Structure 1
Amino acid sequence: MTARPALPEPGTTALLTVECQRGVVGEESALPELAHEARASGTLERIARLVGAAHERGVQVLHAVAERRPDGRGAGRNAPLLRAAERLPVRQLTGSDAVRIAAPVPVAEEDLTVRRLHGLSPLAGTDVDALLRNLGIRCLVVTGVSTNVAVPNAVFDAVNLGYTAVVPADAVAGVPADYTAAVLRHTLSLVATVTTTAELLDHWRT
């Protein structure tokens, strides 16, 4: 049996929250089914606990936010999901409440917020990689939504860029819920260390 990889040390680890913004997981979400799953399952609360612990332990926190300009300039239309975003009742417009981090996830002054106007990945085409390298980060803990698109994108991009990826299974969400379980088991576990919020919190307390 293969030994379980060791969990990362705080000093070289960053915690990434993916699209934990009001317009995605908040009560006035453009994607109510996803928002309900993230909140009712306790996923958003566990992300908040991880972010709070990261602040206490000196783990760098980055918030990846997806947004659009009011005129849509620079946004892609080369995928059905991207075209559908133009028609959603709540639009993730730059500067609006929809792109603010949703409660109860805390935001500290030392957190970095990385905003993207295009694409599906929190890493590709954004400043995340350069910021992590400048901070001496070697491991990225990926949390947030959704396991349908953005979370797998983040994990694969992190691994392709040479980072070790860690995914707390109960701090990510997608729809339907059983799809998340399948992605974790059959895909993300092949490229990342899949753990739990409790295990990661215990590790950071030691």
Structure 2
Amino acid sequence: MTVRGLEPGRRAALIINECQNAMIDLSFQDNVDLARQATERKITRQIAALADACRRSGVLVVHSTIVLRKDGLGMTPSCLLLGSLLKRGTCVEGNAAAEIHPDLAPQPQDYISRRHHGLTPFHGTELESVLRQRDVQTVIVAGVSTNVGVPGTCLEAINRGFTAVVPEDAIAGISPEIHDFQVQNLIRLLATVTTTDDVLTALSAVDR
């Protein structure tokens, strides 16, 4: 099956957004609703399959994280979401909560893009330069959340001239209702919405 944005000859990168313990691991009890949905939807299994396939195909795997400094410098509580993150104080450098989920542990060839502030992987980071260096045309967006992070990543990518592809079974929001609403009414306007299996098939045919 052909996935728009992953046609043979196009260069892609996988962006795994905020798959940190504080976000998707229920044992950390930080974002309980989001972590529960990520667990029930088994997104780490799907994302791990995508990451493995990308590495085999020479497709760059990017782990985008938000990690606060211990003193909070650089993080401005300019909206409710960022204010809540700062107030909880768990996703802080050196804390296990800020680490990438062990099921998605980065490999040496992966790229870790860390930011202290903002809601998307492109804000205040060198991500765009990294993608340009690799001549990337399409970003495959996975992770959390369907509420903000995933559509925000797609929008920022589009603003920079990239095409976005979203495997719907590799993302999660804080509830099934919000997830479905966002996918149907927002994300599909910004990206090709597809499945992990279809992305895996497309990756196997893309000429690197």
Q: Partners in 2 of 1:121 and 1:14 — Cα distance?
A: 16
Deviations 1:135-181 (A, max 9, x none): 11111000000011111110000000000100001111001112111
Distance 1:4 1:104, change over 3 A: closer
Q: In the alignment, what sits opposite 2:184?
A: 185
Q: Partners in 2 of 1:73 and 1:6 — Cα distance?
A: 38
Query: What is the identity, as a one-letter code, of the residue corresponding to 1:61?
Result: V
User: Which one has more relative contact order, counting CA pairs under 8 Å at least 6 apart?
Assistant: 2
Is 1:131 the counterpart of 2:130? The answer is yes
Number of residue equivalences: 203
Q: Partners in 2 of 1:114 and 1:44 — Cα distance?
A: 19
State the TM-score, normalizing by the size of structure 2: 0.91
Q: In the alignment, what sits opposite 1:73?
A: 73
Runs of 4+ in structure 1 over 6 Å off: none
SS in 1 for 2:6: coil
Distance 1:6 1:24, change over 3 A: closer
Alpha-carbon RMSD across the aligned residues, in angstroms, is 1.8
Query: What is the identity, as a one-letter code, of the residue corresponding to 2:119?
Result: L
Q: In the TM superposition, what is the alpha-carbon distance from 1:51 to its structure 2 partner?
A: 0.8
**CA contact 1:147–1:172 (8 Å) conserved in 2:** yes
Q: In the alignment, what sits opposite 1:91?
A: 90
**CA contact 2:44–2:170 (8 Å) conserved in 1:** yes
Q: In the alignment, what sits opposite 2:162?
A: 163
SS in 1 for 2:38: helix
Query: What is the identity, as a one-letter code, of the residue corresponding to 2:66?
Result: A
Runs of 5+ consecutive residues of structure 1 not aligned to the other structure: none
SS in 1 for 2:193: strand
State the TM-score, normalizing by the size of structure 1: 0.92
**CA contact 1:55–1:108 (8 Å) conserved in 2:** no
**CA contact 1:171–1:197 (8 Å) conserved in 2:** yes
Runs of 5+ consecutive residues of structure 2 not aligned to the other structure: none
Q: In the TM superposition, what is the alpha-carbon distance from 1:96 to its structure 2 partner?
A: 2.5
**CA contact 2:69–2:93 (8 Å) conserved in 1:** yes
**CA contact 1:8–1:139 (8 Å) conserved in 2:** no
